Amino acid sequence: MTGECLLVLENLGRPLEPNLSAHVAACQHCQAVVKAHETLARARSMQLSQAADAAFAQSLSRAASRPARAWWVEGLAIGAVNLLLVTAGVWALRLRVAASNLAPPEIVWAIGFFLVAAIIAGPLIALAPGGRLLRKYALASYPLLAVAVVVGGSGLQPMRSFMRAGISCLVLEIALSVLPAIFVVWALTTTAFRITRAAIAGLSAGAVGALALHLHCPFGTVSHLLFFHVLPWLALGAAAVAVRSRLTSKSFAP
Amino acid sequence: MLRFIDGDRQGLDVLYQRYREPIASYLTRIVGRSSGEDLSQVTFLSLVRARGRYQRGARFRPWLYAIATNAARDFLRRRRMEQLTSKREMVREEAVDPPEADPGMEQAVHRALEQLPENQRLAIVMHRFQNLSFAEIAQALELSESAVKVRAHRGYEKLRELLRDLWEEP
């Protein structure tokens, strides 16, 4: 497809300038495009029923009477709830077992900072209108963060068996992340289904449990972090996509 | 749209009167007659419910067509899922949406459009039948303008093949 082909495409339905007409005469692709465009013009316009739909007018009026809410209100509210849940989770865990991540503090806080950012920014990015490119970057940042969690571990071996120590982490992570996941996936029904939105939503909810474990769990081997901190987190992202795809949208706005 | 967002309910009436037919016609070409008008109602309900997502200063027409396109895609996705799970459903679905009032050319065009990949079909229907510019289509489909042009070009080329019998008529 050449630049002239594009010009022909842009000028379909209008008289073509001599140089474009000459191009069409020589270009088989453009001949096909012009012919198809002309053929479609012969299709008559759709005849739609003109019957006034009083019931629909009423539904529209009812929907319009409800106050409009800016999209970011829900995003911020979910971010705030996520932070509250992390705080409550870490506090409850500390009451039970006084333990914490034994990696160097600067690594613990740096990764913790990015997890907090993921928890707050995730719902906002997932719910924001437009922002397709931002969503792509945000989605790509979660696996990087997951790698940082694994690589930044303390290396400390679990004192209990691999599975016993791991299962308790897995259960804690899921327990802390379920509520944020429900909130954010439900909020996503106010917009059209997009895989990237749902994945970011699920990963931001999973980051709630991942942050609590990151601050609290003393075990830091790669296998423990990978199988019981990171994989359940990523699985939650996939589960959010699967669940959201089955929910009915309340609105199809972009 | 801004009048409506600012609380003027008449703004909604104006939008509905102005865009009801174009949107219903667009959706009818994408999903078929029996569901097109229902989906146009879904589109306007979505518009009202999601008015908090409309960004001031954004062009309204591409936003409305984006809602309609999303509603159509959701409908088609669910229909595909149903067809995958039940062959009986598929037979029923085909029977539900007959080409009743679309003889000749309209029916042939409808069939040809149905054979195009979704993105090419959407671009062509918006361009040819709804008179949207490529910039507006790009906004509605969340694609770059050049990507839309490539899809439209390929779609028209394919349509030429599919409609060859019609345009070769004397």
Convert the pLDDT of each residue in B110-163 to its tens digit: 888 888 898 899 999 899 888 899 999 998 898 899 999 999 999 998 988 888
- Whether residues A115 and A183 share a domain: the answer is yes
pLDDT of residue B93: 44
| Domain residue limits at A21 | 3-41
Which residue ranges in chain A fall short of pLDDT 50?
Answer: none
- Expressed in percent and rounded to 5, the helix, strand and coil fractions of chain A are 75, 0, 25
Contacts of B95 (CB under 8 A, 6+ apart): none
pLDDT of residue B51: 87
- Residues of B within 8 A of A41 (CB-CB) are 128
Q: State the Rg of chain A over Cα.
A: 27
Q: What is the ipTM of this complex?
A: 0.79
Q: How far apart are CA A146 and CA A134, in angstroms?
A: 19
Contacts of B167 (CB under 8 A, 6+ apart): A35, A38, A39, B160
How buried is residue A98: exposed, middle or buried, by Cβ count under 10 Å (0-12/13-18/19+)? exposed
Average pLDDT of every residue of chain A: 87
How many Cβ pairs closer than 8 A exist between chain A and B?
A: 148
Contact B70 A192 (CB under 8 A): yes
- Whether residues A218 and A99 share a domain: the answer is yes
First to last CA, chain B: 47
| Domain residue limits at B80 | 1-98
- Does A141 fall in a domain? yes
Largest CA distance in chain A: 83
Say yes or no: B120 contacts chain A, CB-CB below 8 A: no
Closest Cα in chain B, distance from residue A122 (Å): 17
- Whether residues A76 and A36 share a domain: the answer is no
- Expressed in percent and rounded to 5, the helix, strand and coil fractions of chain B are 80, 0, 20
- Whether residues B120 and B143 share a domain: the answer is yes
pLDDT of residue A21: 86
Q: How far apart are CA A142 and CA A118, in angstroms?
A: 8
- Whether residues A37 and A74 share a domain: the answer is no
How many other CB atoms sit within 10 Å of the CB of residue B15? 18
- Whether residues B135 and B153 share a domain: the answer is yes
- Does A16 fall in a domain? yes
Look up the CATH number of the domain holding residue B26.
Answer: 1.10.1740.10
- Does A242 fall in a domain? yes
Say yes or no: B97 contacts chain A, CB-CB below 8 A: no
- Does A47 fall in a domain? no
pLDDT of residue B88: 52
Look up the CATH number of the domain holding residue B150.
Answer: 1.10.10.10
Number of domains in chain A: 2
Closest Cα in chain A, distance from residue B119 (Å): 16
pLDDT bucket at B87, cuts 50 / 70 / 90: low
Give the tens place of pLDDT for each residue, A160-214.
Answer: 787 888 898 999 999 999 999 999 999 999 999 999 999 999 999 999 999 999 9
Q: How far apart are CA A53 and CA A181, in angstroms?
A: 39
How many other CB atoms sit within 10 Å of the CB of residue B103? 10
Is pLDDT above 80 for B92? Answer: no
Residue of B26, B48, B77 to mutate, interface with A, max A Cβ within 10 Å: B48
Closest Cα in chain A, distance from residue B46 (Å): 4
- Whether residues B113 and B75 share a domain: the answer is no
- Whether residues A224 and A137 share a domain: the answer is yes
Q: How far apart are CA B149 and CA B134, in angstroms?
A: 7
pLDDT of residue B43: 93
Contact A190 B49 (CB under 8 A): yes
Closest Cβ opposite residue B157 in set A10, A33, A45: A33
- Residues of B within 8 A of A66 (CB-CB) are 49
Contact B109 A39 (CB under 8 A): yes
pTM to 2 decimal places: 0.80
pLDDT of residue A131: 82
Q: How far apart are CA A172 and CA A92, in angstroms?
A: 11
pLDDT of residue A48: 58
Give the tens place of pLDDT for each residue, A226-235.
Answer: 999 999 999 9
Contact B160 A1 (CB under 8 A): no
Number of domains in chain B: 2
